Amino acid sequence: MLGLETSCDETAAAVLDGDNRILGHVILSQDVHEVYGGVVPELAARAHLQKVDSVVNEALERAGVALEDVDVFGVTTGPGLIGALLVGVCWTKAVAWALDRPWVAVHHMEGHLFGPVLEDPQAEPPFIALLVSGGHTLLLYVTAWGEYELLGKTRDDAAGEAFDKVAKLLGLPYPGGPAVQRIAEDGDPERHRLPRPMLRRNQTVEDPAFYDFSFSGLKTAVIDLTTKLGDSLSDEAPHVAAAFQDAAVDVLVSKTLRAMRETGCGRVVLGGGVSANVHLRQEMERRIQELDAETGPRSVHHASLRLSLDNGAMIARAARFRFEKGESAPLDQNAWASLDFPGLRDGSRGITLPKT
């Protein structure tokens, strides 16, 4: 199985064998976007087009196989930047057609859901999944692979997007997540108290905001704080970063604990780029052990840093699952910038969401 990922600013390819072992794995990150403080879609698509062949070839070489040895191809078809997605989809369709091989369309966030199980066989359903990336924040109850109950999602900014915007306010480089985490280590999170949006003690499960997230208000609070600090911002930046990170992580962990209480599920899986945040991992580990609910054994599972970021191995693993269910894509399948999560059901309202 060969998986190809080109949804944003990483060109990534990986080869898995029949036992889901990673034989070859290459991730090429695009550093051109650092100059602009964020991803420029046209530059991202162009870079994918220039590098996709060499990235795939390197993954195949590391795996010790030829392109003709690949039985099935998997590729991210959405969501993401449409120009970037099209590079991966067009490449995969062309090669699959030329070799007379099947190919599988993969939802990017379902790929992140499969990332942890590549390294941790215990990251199996049922579990509560917190998927946090630059474009998405989702809280799911995963009863089985392919069967996902949507508990909560962001109503505005995604968690990763908020980290990037706060980093820019503090004069830190892109990507913002690692930069904020780095300087927050030297800061005091109590020095500047920031709000916890949509997190109130008196909320019940009937409240529409019980599981949902919002990070725009937190971002605005940081804007107001940095404006107030003025010339002293350079000295206070570590404390502001620590306060922001603490607030964002508090909301993410608290909502996840709510899901654990309501479902009785003691297993948590973290996925997406923001799941690489050390403070998030540590707080989740600490607080689930203090949870006052009957959930049985409690555990937190996440991928390594390499497999937490966008990568081809998670796409190959998700593609294998879909292929073994009998799914393959026709040659007229397209990429979609906003693609519905397959198998997603609204767990709070009992609604089956549309599937693309």
Q: Count of CB atoms within 10 A of residue 122's CB?
A: 11
C-beta of residue 44 within 8 angstroms of C-beta of residue 33? yes
**Residue 14 phi/psi, 5° resolution?**
-150, 150
Q: Say whether 267 sits in a helix, a strand or coil.
A: strand
C-alpha 207/C-alpha 246 separation (Å) is 24
- Axis-axis angle for helices 233-263, 176-184 (nearest 10): 100
- The pLDDT score that the predictor gives to residue 161 is 94
Please calculate the CA angle 222-225-226 and round it to the nearest 5 degrees: 85
C-beta of residue 25 within 8 angstroms of C-beta of residue 303? no
Q: Count of CB atoms within 10 A of residue 54's CB?
A: 13
Residue 22 token pair: 């990673």
Exposure of 121 by Cβ count < 10 A (0-12 exposed, 13-18 middle, 19+ buried)?
exposed
Amino acid at 342: P
Give the residue among 78, 149, 142 at the shortest CA–CA distance from 114: 142
Give the residue among 221, 220, 197 at the shortest CA–CA distance from 209: 197
Q: Please list the alpha-helical segments (H only) found in 154-311.
A: 159-169, 176-184, 216-229, 233-263, 278-289, 305-308
C-beta of residue 48 within 8 angstroms of C-beta of residue 11? yes
> Could you say which residues of the chain have pLDDT below 70?
347-356
Residue 137: enclosing H or E segment and its boundaries? Answer: strand 137-144
Q: Which domains does the chain have, with CATH numbers?
A: 2-113+307-343 (3.30.420.40), 125-302 (3.30.420.40)
Q: Count of CB atoms within 10 A of residue 37's CB?
A: 17
The answer, as to whether pTM is greater than 0.85, is: yes
DSSP state of 30: -
- The pLDDT score that the predictor gives to residue 201 is 86
- The pLDDT score that the predictor gives to residue 38 is 84
C-alpha 184/C-alpha 246 separation (Å) is 9
Q: Are strands 103-107 and 147-153 parallel, antiparallel or unpaired?
A: unpaired
- The pLDDT score that the predictor gives to residue 294 is 85
- The pLDDT score that the predictor gives to residue 346 is 84
- The pLDDT score that the predictor gives to residue 88 is 98
- Residue 2 pairs with which residues in a beta bridge? 15, 73
Q: How many helices (H) and strands (E) does the chain have?
A: 10, 12
- The pLDDT score that the predictor gives to residue 350 is 43
Longest CA pairwise span in the chain (Å): 63
C-beta of residue 60 within 8 angstroms of C-beta of residue 24? yes
- The pLDDT score that the predictor gives to residue 351 is 40
